[in-house]
Structure 1
Amino acid sequence: MGEELAPAGPQPGLRERKKRETRRRISDIATGLFLTRGFDNVTIADVARTADVSVNTVFNYFKTKEDLFFDRQDEIIEQASREFRGRRPGEGAAALFRRRFFEGLDAGAYWTAFHEGSEAWTQTVRDSPALTARQREIGRRAQDHLADLIAEDTGAGPDDIAPRTAAAMIFAVQTVLIEQIADRKRAGETLQEMREDVYAAAARAFDLLEHGLGDYAARPATGNRTATGN
């Protein structure tokens, strides 16, 4: 990989960098506890004690316990919109997110679940109603944000259903693929064992997204039947 470029603009000062480091340290410690013991079995006091900080310090950085687990939720909410803004000339929304999903698989990106340890993360979420609800909220906010951006970019009117439909379909395809990967990981499959199927499933799902359902799942036509008496 190439050398990472420093972000443009003024860099944070020492105090701000220390605050960020403290925030990340507390979150990392909390996540380790949640994955090991289960989210509902860990208290804020447990996190503070393990991180060697006060409970008030934890709340200074995180408003809720769920924020400790989903410490990157703002990034997740912004991700799809940021990618949409950076799409290539002539690249449609479906093609963009197809390309980005395959790039995520290739890189073992955390948001694809196609990486080692993803089963522990997904199981922790599924075991906690609070985390499950927060994950749905994050997904809804990200989807709404993308829909608003699509509407703005395409000049869609307030009654045009297309932007929200497009955003919903994009998120639905990605969610189904990610959940399938997570389920197979939880069942004990290795990344190598499922790799071919994962890529094939992603291609199939995005084909449907790009080209539409059409006559998919149409009921087979019945042949002509000759009436017979009894």
Structure 2
Amino acid sequence: MSTDTLGLREQKKRETRQAISDHATQLFLQRGFDRTTIADIATAARVAKMTVTNYFPRKEDLALDHHEEFAAGLARTVANRPAGESALGAVRRAYLAALARRDPVIGFTGREFAQMIAESPTLVARLRDLHDQREEGLARQLAHEEPGDPVAARAVAAQLAGADRLLFRELQARMLADDQAPAARADAPEAGQGARATHQGARAAGGTTARDEGIAAELGEIARRVFDLLEPAIGGYAVR
């Protein structure tokens, strides 16, 4: 089999996966996650049910399609930090950069998608599990870099992951909030990091909205305060 044939096959697989993901997102937004079946998605994407599950073994993966990147994100950020930067500095820098590019992995999703996640107990539970995986991965990375004190590594990971969870909830709460009733966001449940289609479906063509800009500015200020509060305690930990 030629290299060209292999390349075409991989391209076809990527296109099929993307089509399944896009159709699933549309159905989830229209019907809700729990009311949409794998059979519904297969029919919409014009593939067999087995094809859907081959690409997405868990139904939740169709909604949280950045789940692997999300779970590994904190550990990867710390592992790839430059010389002279602490673990806290790396997480701070990466978060503000992700916020600037409106990255759905940190929770920058459209309101409809965030609402869909928040209304599904299955997805809310899955998201909490992913946050736990995110913290555990960071703890392993810090323990690898600072092997002399595994207790401290886990404690620092818990603090950084706690800040990460807080910022995620704050951002999703603002995604869920009605512009006419901003106080409602205080009770918003933890919602999800979304699919690529989130940005396309919830924003006007041609770029981010004024609401997006306001949310990003607000979260940037909150993030800076949160990380500043952690600085005295862990700012000097794991400096590369």
TM-score (norm 1): 0.79
Aligned to 2:112: 120
The question of 1:78 aligning with 2:72 is answered yes
Match of 2:178 among 175, 181, 188: 188
The question of 1:178 aligning with 2:168 is answered yes
Alpha carbons of structure 1 residues 105 and 71: separation in structure 2 relative to 1, 3 Å = closer
Aligned to 2:227: 206
Aligned to 1:106: 100
Q: Is the 8 A contact 2:114 2:175 kept in 1?
A: no
Aligned to 1:35: 29
The question of 1:166 aligning with 2:165 is answered no
Alpha carbons of structure 1 residues 70 and 156: separation in structure 2 relative to 1, 3 Å = farther
Q: Is the 8 A contact 1:156 1:163 kept in 2?
A: no
Identity %: 37
Q: How far apart are the structure 1 equivalents of 2:215 and 2:101? A: 15
Report the more deviating stretch, 119-128 or 137-146: 119-128
Deviations 1:111-159 (A, max 9, x none): 23345x1x222222221111111111111112111111110111235xx
Q: What is the aligned residue count?
A: 198
Larger Rg: 1 or 2? 1
Q: Is the 8 A contact 2:114 2:172 kept in 1?
A: yes
Aligned to 1:44: 38
Q: How far apart are the structure 2 equivalents of 1:135 and 1:120? A: 17
Aligned to 1:89: 83
Q: How far apart are the structure 1 equivalents of 2:101 and 2:216? A: 13
Aligned to 1:132: 124
The question of 1:23 aligning with 2:50 is answered no
TM-score (norm 2): 0.76
Q: How far apart are the structure 2 equivalents of 1:133 and 1:80? A: 20
Q: Is the 8 A contact 1:147 1:164 kept in 2?
A: yes
- Consecutive unaligned residues of structure 1, counting only runs of 5 or more, are 1-11, 214-230
Structure 1 residue runs of 4 or more that deviate by more than 6 Å after TM superposition? none
1:192 counterpart SS class: helix
| RMSD (Å) for aligned C-alpha atoms | 1.9
Q: How far apart are the structure 2 equivalents of 1:196 and 1:13? A: 42
- Consecutive unaligned residues of structure 2, counting only runs of 5 or more, are 1-5, 180-210, 235-240
Q: How far apart are the structure 2 equivalents of 1:13 and 1:161? A: 47
Aligned to 1:153: 145
Task: From the two aligned structures, give the one with the greater helix fraction.
Answer: 2
